[in-house]
Amino acid sequence: MNGKPLVSIVSAGLSKFGKLDGMYGREIFAEAAKEAYDRCPNLNPKKDIKALFVGHMGEAYEHQGHTGATVADWAGLLHVPATRTEAACASSGAALRVAIQAVLSGLSDVVMVGGVEKMTHRSTAEVTEYLAMASDFPYEQWQGMTFPGLYALMATAHMHDYGTAEKDLAMVAVKNHYHGSMNPKAHIQKEITLETAMTSRVVAWPLKLYDCSLITDGASCLILTKPELAKKYTDMPVNIVGSGQASDAIGLYERESLTSLAAAKIAAKQAYDMAGVKPEDVNVAEVHDCFTIAEIIAYEDLGFCKLGEGGRIVENGETRLGGRIPVNTSGGLKSKGHPVGATGTAQAYEMYLQLTGQADRRQVIGAKIGLTHNVGGSGATATVHIYRRD
């Protein structure tokens, strides 16, 4: 496609992220959908929206499957074909790619795509078990391995190979909490000190409490259409110009490298090539910081720095607001929160705000090109999307 818009985002919505007591996931999704409708008064949802795609990881949280039809009803789209996608924490990143394909196919001129997860009513032990289902059962889950443990293996390998330090990990957390302190919808809206991050309790060494993303409730959605129809709905469309998705072995033990995600590198190359841009053209990015080491690895996989230099660029302030390539201006999974099914399109929501100049105190001045990077599990799925405001 080489830079030609695939689809246009004409509106977007995000629920409050956090511990949303007394709300079902369907109600949380309805909150995100309402914002998307309110932002786009020229849209008649019941008349215009022809399909719904929703990312949702697990039935276990609410003992509820059949998520597509459930949230379609609560979003006021009762008779619209609704499909759930599941790709662990990349569920709505995958949903976004499917929604793009639906528009490009010509079957649907306007679609809604989003994601949702309700998690906080479960205990930490239960959530850890449910999330672990995205790892290999016989060789990881059954042996007692959890995702903090898997990402701790990546972190220690990165430290061994490249000299990355615990301080580098902590600085990712400090940066993202700083960004999240300016996001009124973030789960935790407060800054932390380097000392707080460094001295927090160990979860799986070298990962400490502040190296781990949050257990969060939340929902997100976008409304997509053909680029030639976008002006019918808004004067500020954001075009998606690149889309990539790849898979890898589900078990970390099967991978060629512990310090890079092959699926993310492949998906990024697909998206860059399709968009006709290079890493240095990206003005702002949202990456999958489920653990702080994941953000450092993402810098390298996406080409924002050379292999092994991820720790250095966060230490130099290059990925902070005002830096060379601001990353996770929303606060990321670390501060905004990680309702797993909602994360991919929540990242796209931040791109929509940034590229239309609506990100308030966390606005990246003059941002024209954005990128989102959404990972499932320990990297068995990865999606990368590139956005441009023309």
Q: Give percent above pLDDT 90 in the chain.
A: 99
Phi, psi of 155 (to 5 degrees): -65, -45
Query: Which structural domains are found in the chain, ordered by start?
Result: 7-122+216-237 (3.40.47.10), 144-215+239-388 (3.40.47.10)
DSSP secondary-structure letter at 253?
G
Phi, psi of 254 (to 5 degrees): -90, -5
Q: Tell me what pLDDT residue 98 has.
A: 98
pLDDT tens-digit readout, 145-181 = 999 999 999 999 999 999 999 999 999 999 999 999 9
Q: Tell me what pLDDT residue 3 has.
A: 85
Provide the 3-class DSSP secondary structure of residue 40.
coil
Residue pLDDT tens, the chain, 390 long: 578 999 999 999 999 999 999 999 999 999 999 999 999 999 999 999 999 999 999 999 999 999 999 999 999 999 999 999 999 999 999 999 999 999 999 999 999 999 999 999 999 999 999 999 999 999 999 999 999 999 999 999 999 999 999 999 999 999 999 999 999 999 999 999 999 999 999 999 999 999 999 999 999 999 999 999 999 999 999 999 999 999 999 999 999 999 999 999 999 999 999 999 999 999 999 999 999 999 999 999 999 999 999 999 999 999 999 999 999 999 999 999 999 999 999 999 999 999 999 999 999 999 999 999 999 999 999 999 999 998
Strands 381-388 and 238-247: antiparallel
Q: How far apart are the first and last CA of the chain?
A: 16
Distance CA 284, CA 324 (A): 9
Residues annotated as catalytic (active site), given as ranges: 89, 338
Residue 144: CB atoms within 10 A of its CB come to 8
What residue has token string 């490249």?
162
Q: Tell me what pLDDT residue 1 has.
A: 57
Of 306, 268, 301, give the one whose Cα is nearest residue 386. Answer: 268
The residue type of 72 is A
Residue 280: CB atoms within 10 A of its CB come to 9
Of 117, 114, 119, 118, give the one whose Cα is nearest residue 33. Answer: 114
Q: Tell me what pLDDT residue 301 has.
A: 98
Distance CA 134, CA 224 (A): 29
